[in-house]
Amino acid sequence: MQNETSSVCETAVIIPCYNAGSCVARALDSVLAQTHQDYRIFVVDDGSTDDTEQVLRNYAGRVVAVRQEHAAQGSARNRAIRLSRSSYVAFLDADDEWLPTKLERQIEILRRDSSIGLVYSDCSTSGTGPFAGSHFARVGTPNGGRVFEQLLDSCSIFTPTAVVRRECLEEVGLFNESLPVGEDFNLWLRIAARWAVAVVPEVLAVRHYRPGGLSLTTAPDTALRSSVAAFEHVLQSSTAHLLPDQRKALLRAIAQRHYDYGTYLLIHGHCARSRDQMFQAFRGGPLDWRVPAKIALSFLPHRAFLSLRELQRRFKSAPAGSHVTAAE
């Protein structure tokens, strides 16, 4: 591994990797092929047990590579950020890759407008699944500017597309290392609470899924619990910078995540924990009739709840005009 010092370049490229020996070379090669060349690559091997370290040795002299005990990707990204001193910080995951003009297009925007804290772009997903191809082609191109409330409803910022102004990170803080997942969304929201965001409506990055990747191995309970914690942290850290309407929107978003987690717990028979989440959902403002309904259902025997849920599912899926009864 290379030592942890380097000359200052305009852009720091941050790549965390964990057991990424099969794909990190593709990510690194996509950076080395950039038309914007004033960058330095910082790779943090987060305790890999495969051949990641050996692959990284092939890039000696072209990357700053360090190794740490396994502590998750938020910690690895923060380690790399702290090693760098560049004006702009670009993120790439070891699974993914950039198109050649990615940095050039985004750095130009950050140079031109000092009010922008983050620039992101469209992203393509490889393969043939339901999410393959351009993300913006499916959901529409998001607006730029002060977009905090829009991000609460739908986050289109994929980490490999994001470039952030260092001044912005110094102001809002780095990735929240206590979050097992969702630490990137949490950071984008904290940035959007204080800074303008810009969008490049072009595919500039490609995401690849691989067996063992975090998105495919995170348990639903962990993902839902982390989502609640991520949004609660945004409220704690950004309240002073939110307008009244933004605060209300954030409280509604937090309530929805408590409701989603509570629903999951109820379905899986954790009734007392479900009620705790549903009571937290009341904080979101006007009473949602679904919340007291789910609280009431949590007092039923679990088998009775599942029977009612199946009956509801059958009524919803029955063809128009048909007659479905519980005795069928």
Estimate to the nearest angstrom the gap between the alpha carbon of 241 and the chain centroid: 22
Query: Would you give the DSSP letter of residue 271?
Result: H
Q: Is residue 258 part of a domain?
A: yes
Based on the domain organization, do 124 and 58 belong to the same domain?
yes
Query: Would you give the DSSP letter of residue 145?
Result: B
Report which of residues 286 and 201 the model is more confident about: 201
Q: Is residue 264 part of a domain?
A: yes
Q: Is residue 236 part of a domain?
A: no
C-alpha–C-alpha distance, residues 118 and 167, integer Å? 11
For residues 119 and 109, the answer to whether their CB atoms sit within 8 Å is yes
Question: What is the per-residue pLDDT for 128?
Answer: 86
Over residues 112-120, mean pLDDT: 98
Q: What is the CATH number of the domain that holds 44?
A: 3.90.550.10
Based on the domain organization, do 24 and 95 belong to the same domain?
yes
Closest CA to 152 of 264, 278, 249, 257: 249
Based on the domain organization, do 23 and 160 belong to the same domain?
yes
Based on the domain organization, do 203 and 247 belong to the same domain?
no
Q: Is residue 77 part of a domain?
A: yes
Question: What is the per-residue pLDDT for 154?
Answer: 87
Single-letter residue type at 135: H
- Does residue 125 sit in helix, strand or coil? strand
| Residue 170 neighbours by CB under 8 Å, 6+ apart | none
Q: Is the pLDDT of residue 18 over 90?
A: yes
C-alpha–C-alpha distance, residues 42 and 220, integer Å? 31
196, two tokens:
């303008």
Please tell me the pTM assigned to this model.
Answer: 0.89
Alpha-helical (H) ranges within 166-301 are 166-172, 183-192, 214-217, 220-238, 244-267, 271-281, 290-297
Q: Is residue 204 part of a domain?
A: yes
The count of C-alpha atoms lying within 13 angstroms of the C-alpha of 186, restricted to the half-sphere facing its C-beta, is 24
Report which of residues 296 and 230 the model is more confident about: 230
Based on the domain organization, do 28 and 172 belong to the same domain?
yes
Over residues 194-205, mean pLDDT: 98
Q: Is residue 252 part of a domain?
A: yes
Question: What is the per-residue pLDDT for 146?
Answer: 96
Based on the domain organization, do 16 and 70 belong to the same domain?
yes
Q: Is residue 228 part of a domain?
A: no
5-9, 66-70, 91-95, range with the lowest pLDDT? 5-9
Final residue of a structural domain among 177, 199, 217: 217
Question: What is the per-residue pLDDT for 216?
Answer: 62
Based on the domain organization, do 149 and 56 belong to the same domain?
yes
Based on the domain organization, do 138 and 247 belong to the same domain?
no
6-15, 101-110, 182-191, 266-275, range with the lowest pLDDT? 6-15
CA distances for 70 relative to 20, 90, 203, 321, angstroms: 13, 22, 32, 57
> What pLDDT digit, counting tens, does each position of 122-167 carry?
999 998 888 899 999 999 999 999 999 999 988 999 999 999 999 9
Based on the domain organization, do 161 and 36 belong to the same domain?
yes
Report the chain's mean pLDDT, rounded to a whole number: 91
Beta strands 133-134; 116-125: pairing state:
antiparallel
Estimate to the nearest angstrom the gap between the alpha carbon of 117 and the chain centroid: 17
Domain ranges, residue 286: 243-317
C-alpha–C-alpha distance, residues 15 and 63, integer Å? 10
Based on the domain organization, do 177 and 114 belong to the same domain?
yes
Residue 239, φ and ψ in degrees, nearest 5: -55, -40
Closest CA to 227 of 275, 280, 270: 280
Number of domains in the chain: 2
Q: Is residue 324 part of a domain?
A: no
Based on the domain organization, do 183 and 301 belong to the same domain?
no
Based on the domain organization, do 270 and 146 belong to the same domain?
no
- Does residue 163 sit in helix, strand or coil? strand
Q: Is the pLDDT of residue 5 over 60?
A: no
> What pLDDT digit, counting tens, does each position of 285-308 carry?
666 788 998 898 889 888 887 887
